[in-house]
Structure 1
Amino acid sequence: MPDSQATLSFLEARILGVLIEKERTTPDAYPLTLNSLSAGCNQKSARDPVISATDSEVQSALEALRSRVLVLETYGASGRVLRYAQNFGKVFGVPAASVALLATLMLRGAQTVSELRANSERLYRFDDASSVEAYLEELAARSGGALTTRLSRQPGSREHRWAHLLCGTAALPREASAGETITENAALAERVACLELEVAELRAAIKALAGEPGQ
């Protein structure tokens, strides 16, 4: 994989996802200022996981992306405030549909084909689920290096989830062992018992303050 397509850090991937998203959803505000980009990275909705990156952290990641021409700097029409635009599709040589799917994966983590189709609708409208899967499979079989992978189906799930590989190997969901589950259940039961005891003591204290006889 050429240097311009080297493994991204999590924050670099989040930044690219935000720039791709905002270019489509808020074109009047695009390219984005540092403040707008930071707000997009730390957004509480449509993000998984939710993060709290500082402006300096975002700025540092932007410099790394700019060195690989994945992000371009511009002063826009005003010529006063520095703004940032993404160059992801050209650098990686993937079509708009694939850019939309990768951006959705960068912003929201691993998802099923159905979830991807729904969550990427504002970025690109796919005709059906099979077209989404076709693009994902094309990205997974890419000769220049796979950009997506299909994860093992989770217990109780009817669909496989897909993840991007822009940050290296996809993080697989961790399944708790039977022993861990028993330990967690015991700890929960203990916490519930403690809370019930505290509630009983509080009720007794309130009755005492009110001059009521104890039960």
Structure 2
Amino acid sequence: MTSDSTYPQAARPRGHDFQQRPLLSVEARVLGTLMEKARTVPDSYPLTLNALVTGCNQKSSREPVMHLAEAQVLEALEALRSLHMVVEGSGSRVTRYEHNFPRAAGVPEQSAVLLGMLMLRGPQTAGELRLNTERWYKFLDLASVDGFLEELQDRSPEKGGPLVVKLPRAPGAREQRWTHLLCGPVDTAALASSPQASAATEDDLIALTRRLAALENTVAGLQDQLQNLNEQLGLSQPGQR
């Protein structure tokens, strides 16, 4: 996992500027995608704009699925740059982008990983988060995931206030889910009763999540390989001009 020391010093924020306003959903998707690719495909990171658009519009490992245009992603990148969350890479013929989230948000890497996964995949239980982040960071146990989530929930006003909230237990569910607050306050009651809430047992959920994660990882890996090949050959992605 990348340490904080590798993030650009020039992008160090002043007073957690992002707390001045909530992120838009498109900004959260762009940011989460950069955070994901930094850990899962480091050889092709920082990302080109084409690769970032493709990553944002993935049909796997995304909730909700989005269909963002290049102009929307560029607008989000510019906004995130103003918040010190994204910087442009240098030393390449093509502009590349990388995130600066841990420094901008003032959180440790483990907390950043959990927030990134929540931005990409919506509300999840601590168990789901631990499984879904295995390619990003291997948490020691479920208690450590809970610990970082609770720290984010109990964050003091001086540090910008809570960044996650624990949702009420949904009817028939054994575990409570968490959601992020980077896009502003949420309707916890509505999220808790949403169709995403699962009534399956934790053992069933773990088994299903592991199988789904393996399939998603395979698909994402193939997409990244195709993206890299197209860039090397100077080809555009299907559906892009």
Same fold per superposition (TM over 0.5)? yes
What is the TM-score with the length of structure 2 in the denominator? 0.69
Identical aligned residues as a percent? 53
Amino acid at match of 1:4: F
Once residues 72 and 32 of structure 1 are traced to their aligned partners in structure 2, the CA distance between those partners, rounded to angstroms, is 11
**RMSD value, Cα:** 1.5
Q: 2:110 aligns with which of 94, 97, 111?
A: 97
Amino acid at match of 1:173: L
Once residues 176 and 128 of structure 2 are traced to their aligned partners in structure 1, the CA distance between those partners, rounded to angstroms, is 11
Once residues 149 and 64 of structure 1 are traced to their aligned partners in structure 2, the CA distance between those partners, rounded to angstroms, is 25
Q: Residues 163-202 of structure 1 correspond to what in structure 2 (within 5 A)?
A: 163-171=179-187, 172-173=190-191, 175=193
Once residues 47 and 75 of structure 2 are traced to their aligned partners in structure 1, the CA distance between those partners, rounded to angstroms, is 16
Does 1:160 find its partner at 2:176?
yes
Does 1:113 find its partner at 2:129?
no
Amino acid at match of 1:3: D
Q: 1:46 aligns with which of 54, 57, 61?
A: 61
SS at match of 1:173: helix
Once residues 27 and 48 of structure 2 are traced to their aligned partners in structure 1, the CA distance between those partners, rounded to angstroms, is 16
Question: Contact (CA 8 Å) 2:59, 2:65: kept in 1 or not?
Answer: yes
Question: Contact (CA 8 Å) 2:170, 2:192: kept in 1 or not?
Answer: no
SS at match of 2:183: coil
Once residues 162 and 109 of structure 1 are traced to their aligned partners in structure 2, the CA distance between those partners, rounded to angstroms, is 9
Contiguous gaps of at least 5 residues in structure 2: 1-14, 195-241
1:2 Cα offset (Å): 4.6
1:170 Cα offset (Å): 2.5
Does 1:4 find its partner at 2:4?
no
1:98-151 deviations in Å (ceiling 9; x for gaps): 011000000000000110000011111111111100000000011121000000
Once residues 155 and 133 of structure 1 are traced to their aligned partners in structure 2, the CA distance between those partners, rounded to angstroms, is 21
Once residues 78 and 50 of structure 2 are traced to their aligned partners in structure 1, the CA distance between those partners, rounded to angstroms, is 15
1:10-37 deviations in Å (ceiling 9; x for gaps): 1111111111110011001100011101
1:7 Cα offset (Å): 1.0
Return structure 1 stretches of 4+ with deviation > 4 angstroms.
none
Once residues 34 and 55 of structure 1 are traced to their aligned partners in structure 2, the CA distance between those partners, rounded to angstroms, is 8
What is the TM-score with the length of structure 1 in the denominator? 0.78
Contiguous gaps of at least 5 residues in structure 1: 177-215
Does 1:65 find its partner at 2:83?
no
Aligned to 1:86: 99
Amino acid at match of 2:47: L
Aligned to 1:129: 142
Aligned to 1:33: 48
1:38 Cα offset (Å): 0.6
